[in-house]
Amino acid sequence: MEEFDFIKSIQPKYYQQPTTIKGIGDDAAILRHTNEDIITTVDTMVEDVHFSTSTTEPFHIGYRALAANISDIAAMGGKPTSYLVSIVIPKNWSQESLQQIYNGMNQLAKRYRMDLIGGDTVSGKQLSLSITVIGTVNSKKVRYRSSALEDDIVFVTGSLGDSACGLHILLNSGESARDKYQYFIDRHRMPEPRVNFINECTTIDRITLNDVSDGIANELNEIAEASHKTIVIDYDKVPSHPLLKNFSEELQYDWKLSGGEDFELLGTVSSHNWEQLKTSAVKTGTPITKIGMVKGQANQNSLVWLLHNDQLKRLKKSGYTHLRR
């Protein structure tokens, strides 16, 4: 199939956002925004680095790639509105498989009424999918990482370690374990960004926020660093699914703190706003858990501390880092 036929096949029949003035079909897209701040973010997924076709169907490659981007928009406190897709296609990929990637993105985009407004199509050796998402946010309710204050409550939505456990099952287990742990596999394949929850929190002026893409060991350090504060969390409070208890203590520890890709929201709020935050969580069916507190001024050696087995120890950044040699 030619590039132009391919573009035609993925072109939306209509646009859902009033802000989309021109989508696919010219040299660039045109959006019209007047009253809100614009959020943009881009993420790239490369075959054999971010996913393997042996554990991931094309549908889920598309779904997860877009979910990761939408989660970044949620972590700024915004709503996603449109996206662009740049794709590198190897010769051995069928038209059907490519369509499935777009179907995966489409399923999620529909839920948020997001428009596909452009992209780029080139051929190459390995499948690579780069998605740019555009969103909007009320300029007074942008959620930065840098706004944590002493005595804030540290919270996280949902449960942690699910995605890493799901991948572990896909890589190591047979049919019966897959049935038993289908929940984790689903969470790995189709994570749900917490857009609705954060957009329900509009009465709270200050929420410090990050999304869980690399694991909370990383994201807590990012908040502590950006806010120049020390954070203390209690390992026993870190929420996980009951079935995770079936795995070794070591695996649970690793998955919950460094697993990542759960795309939950991790943040801090003033204790005065905690009840309000919980109300928004209930309204949107979002589990939320207090896992720790923000303490005073940080110095380089004391950013994040973990209370585990009655001992307080430093929690350092962990997980996969690109470009490390």
Which range binds ligand ADP by CB under 6 A, 107-115, 118-126, 232-240, 287-295?
A: 118-126
Number of helices (H) and strands (E) in the chain: give both, helices first.
10, 13
Q: Which of residues 25-44 bind Mg ion (CB under 5 A)?
A: 27
Smallest gap from residue 26 Cβ to Mg ion (A): 8
**Could you give the CA distance from residue 159 to residue 237 in angstroms, rounded to a whole number?**
11
Smallest gap from residue 27 Cβ to ligand ADP (A): 4
- The answer to whether residue 175 forms part of the interface with Mg ion (CB under 5 A) is no
Which single residue brings its beta carbon nearest to Mg ion? Answer: 27
Residue closer to ligand ADP by CB (options 129, 238) is 129
**Could you give the CA distance from residue 282 to residue 293 in angstroms, rounded to a whole number?**
22
Binds ligand ADP (CB under 6 A): choice among 48, 120, 151, 179: 120
Smallest gap from residue 105 Cβ to ligand ADP (A): 9
Query: Are 166 and 184 within 8 A, CB to CB?
Result: yes
Binds ligand ADP (CB under 6 A): choice among 121, 138, 284, 318: 121
Cβ-Cβ contacts under 8 Å for 207 (sequence gap 6 or more)? 77, 143, 147, 198, 201, 267, 268, 269, 273, 277
CA 86, distance to chain mean position in Å, is 19
Which range binds ligand ADP by CB under 6 A, 67-75, 111-119, 223-231, 282-290?
A: 111-119
- The answer to whether residue 5 forms part of the interface with Mg ion (CB under 5 A) is no
26: left (phi over 0), alpha (psi -120 to 50) or beta: beta
Is residue 241 classed exposed, middle or buried when 0-12, 13-18 and 19+ CB atoms within 10 A define those classes? middle
Which range binds Mg ion by CB under 5 A, 23-31, 102-110, 187-195, 268-276?
A: 23-31
Residue closer to Mg ion by CB (options 77, 118) is 118
Smallest gap from residue 106 Cβ to ligand ADP (A): 12
Please give the structure tokens belonging to residue 197: 């929850």
- The answer to whether residue 62 forms part of the interface with ligand ADP (CB under 6 A) is no
Cβ-Cβ contacts under 8 Å for 139 (sequence gap 6 or more)? 36, 37
Residue closer to ligand ADP by CB (options 25, 296) is 25
Nearest to 84 by CA among 46, 108, 119: 119
Query: Are 42 and 131 within 8 A, CB to CB?
Result: yes
Binds ligand ADP (CB under 6 A): choice among 58, 118, 161, 259: 118
Half-sphere exposure of 65 (CA within 13 A, CB side): 34
Smallest gap from residue 10 Cβ to ligand ADP (A): 5
Smallest gap from residue 144 Cβ to ligand ADP (A): 31
25 binds, among Mg ion, ligand ADP, none (CB under 5 to 8 A by kind): ligand ADP
- Each residue 5-44 as x (binds ligand ADP by CB under 6 A) or -, in order, gives --x--x-------------xxxx-----------------
Residue closer to ligand ADP by CB (options 22, 237) is 22
Nearest to 278 by CA among 266, 263, 290: 290
**Could you give the CA distance from residue 31 to residue 45 in angstroms, rounded to a whole number?**
26
Smallest gap from residue 32 Cβ to ligand ADP (A): 17
Amino acid, res. 133: V
> What does the binding site for ligand ADP look like in residue numbers (CB under 6 A)?
7, 10, 24-27, 85, 87, 116, 118-121
> What does the binding site for Mg ion look like in residue numbers (CB under 5 A)?
27
